A and B are shown apart, each in its own frame.
Chain A
């Protein structure tokens, strides 16, 4: 599934997962829960909705805070994670609500924010 990284992956909010089934996406959210197996993580987005992220291999490190996940949306509207990045919040906190606002604009004006 390396092709996920070659295709354009729109940023979406949890509410839009259903519309992007089968497609590569980029999702940013705050870590809410980590499954004991380390293979499932629940993230909440700026609008307060949750998304479940599945990992191909269990986590080998502690993760917390805001995460950006790139992966493909499964049929169950979860994200099959290909790669993730932890946002550093040491200098200033990441404003997830503001990110949500930006997401709304991106999707409201697709002519200005074309995805590939």
Chain B
């Protein structure tokens, strides 16, 4: 019989009456992850099931409850048709050793109490040794002895609730945050949080102030400990993605003891998203990624305006087999101690996706960064990168502004691709680089008179009395400086594009300073024209920003040249060769 037990909050818990043909026992609780079995009516009265994993819990009043962690329904109720055998309720305290009769596959489990270890029917042996439940004083190979010789009962994380104060769990630390301090009107303090995992589930734990100081150096990521006694309270889902209704707060009674026998506990679980898929991931989502650190930048210090604190940050660039590159930002301690030499494999759990420059990742205090993890994905990546990956020219999904000189992260596009991919038509500007040839320059209105103050480029108004007024500086000047705003048409083999070039780019293209050009225009028209003719039909690498702009109800794509450089033919050739080979493979 199954009976639903209503719990205060959270999913319902089912209590099950089990029988092995000889005895019945009603103290079985179904772990919540098995709830669907009841809800879908696969587990119903009279069905025969095989219990694969379970844990025995001792209640305060001495009664024992068996929590069923994993079971398979072997024969559904309608196939069985009725009670099997003539079971009588099992009396606790009765006989210790029962002879084990290897049951046939279809027979229900035989409950055997033998120092707390039970065997299951057929070939399925429990993969989990239940914590020793010492109900008999006979010496038992106890799987756990806490220092001081006290015997504690290890309970599954899933069973933790605020109504039980004395508990011990055996769990692995899958995430350890940094110590964070706060200061508000009610005082100050510090805390750090960890995430714990065992086979039954996960839970978050936080240590404050003194406990933070005490446990922070002791607790290490990925290690397993016995945690005893702490406060359970309802979880604040805002701060965490951990699936548990409750979370633990360490108290001064909490103890943390390393556990040696922990192979059975799951280690840090990752659910990797491929970097190219990140482009479709909504911003602010939390993801796990793994990639080779193709390059990384130096650590820089920035001041957080909100708290006026200095914080270290470092950008690292990760690449995976999709050929795409993403920039991940590390903060604080992690940024400082990061070592990206030898292009390690980096796995990040719980990074936040942002739409900075397209798509990039930010490592949060709740994220975990593992360098060269011991996992099959890491080995695959390493193998791929060492053979082909490092030759691959990758496209970055997070733009790197004025960053690497080697252009490893530049977003190369042909003008045709830029248009067909509708770059700039989103709500944010897009950036790309291309190789193009100037085919036309507009020399009319290529310059304007600008405010002579440093850093102010606003157009000045000619007062006609020898003075020029700048509205932004709210001043009048007897002079001005010429500033370039040159419209050029660039073309490549497939398409063309109008691009606006400001001062630096224009001066580079024309090969003359704005001031000189201003003079030339006034004094020597022919020489002025010659400058433009010479500038025509030169090929350069352009770094372009495109954005949709609306002016008087009309929306147009505007392209601006951020940087113009001579073509690096070697890199260009390599890109072309790679592109040709890639296209040839696609057939």
Contacts and interface: CB of A to CB of B under 8 A. Distances in A.
B574 A98 contact: yes
Contacts of A102: 573, 577
B580 A105 contact: yes
B541 to A, nearest CB: 15
B570 interface: yes
Give the interface centre of A92, A98, A109 by most chain B CB atoms within 10 Å: A98
A101 B577 contact: yes
Interface residues of B, number: 7
B570 A98 contact: yes
A3 interface: no
Interface in A59-116: 92, 95, 98, 101-102, 105, 108-109
A18 B197 CA distance: 69
A98 B570 CA distance: 8
A102 B574 CA distance: 9
Contacts of A98: 570, 573-574, 577
Interface residues of A, number: 8
Majority-rule SS of B interface residues:
helix
Interface string B568-587: 00100110010011001000
A101 B580 CA distance: 11
Contacts of B581: 105
A101 B570 CA distance: 12
Contacts of B573: 95, 98, 101-102
Interface string B525-538: 00000000000000
Nearest to A101: B577
A101 B573 CA distance: 9
B570 A95 contact: yes
A109 B573 CA distance: 16
Nearest to A95: B570
Nearest to B581: A105
A112 to B, nearest CB: 9
Contacts of A101: 573, 577
A105 B574 CA distance: 12
B570 A105 contact: no
Interface in B264-310: none
Contacts of A109: 580, 584
Interface in A16-40: none
Contacts of B580: 105, 109
Nearest to A98: B573
A104 B570 CA distance: 16
Nearest to A91: B566
A107 B580 CA distance: 13
Nearest to A112: B580
A47 B573 CA distance: 17
A92 B572 CA distance: 14
Nearest to B580: A105
B107 to A, nearest CB: 69
Q: Which of A101, A108, A109 has the most CB of B within 10 A?
A: A101
Contacts of B577: 98, 101-102, 105
Nearest to A108: B584
Contacts of A108: 584
Interface string B411-431: 000000000000000000000
A101 B584 CA distance: 15
B407 to A, nearest CB: 15
Contacts of B574: 98
A98 B569 CA distance: 10
A105 B584 CA distance: 10
A27 B573 CA distance: 19
A92 B569 CA distance: 10
A109 B577 CA distance: 12
Contacts of A95: 570, 573
Nearest to A104: B577
A101 B572 CA distance: 13
Contacts of B570: 92, 95, 98
A105 B577 CA distance: 8
A98 B577 CA distance: 9
Contacts of B584: 108-109
Interface in B527-572: 570
A101 B581 CA distance: 11
A102 B580 CA distance: 10
A107 to B, nearest CB: 13
Nearest to A94: B570
A101 B578 CA distance: 10
A108 B580 CA distance: 11
Nearest to B570: A95
A92 B573 CA distance: 15
A102 B576 CA distance: 9
A105 B581 CA distance: 8
Given A108-B584, A109-B580, 15 more contacts: A92-B570, A95-B570, A95-B573, A98-B570, A98-B573, A98-B574, A98-B577, A101-B573, A101-B577, A102-B573, A102-B577, A105-B577, A105-B580, A105-B581, A109-B584
16 contacts: A92-B570, A95-B570, A95-B573, A98-B570, A98-B573, A98-B574, A101-B573, A101-B577, A102-B573, A102-B577, A105-B577, A105-B580, A105-B581, A108-B584, A109-B580, A109-B584
7 nearest CB pairs, A to B: A101-B577, A95-B570, A98-B573, A105-B580, A98-B570, A105-B577, A102-B573
Interface of A: 92, 95, 98, 101-102, 105, 108-109
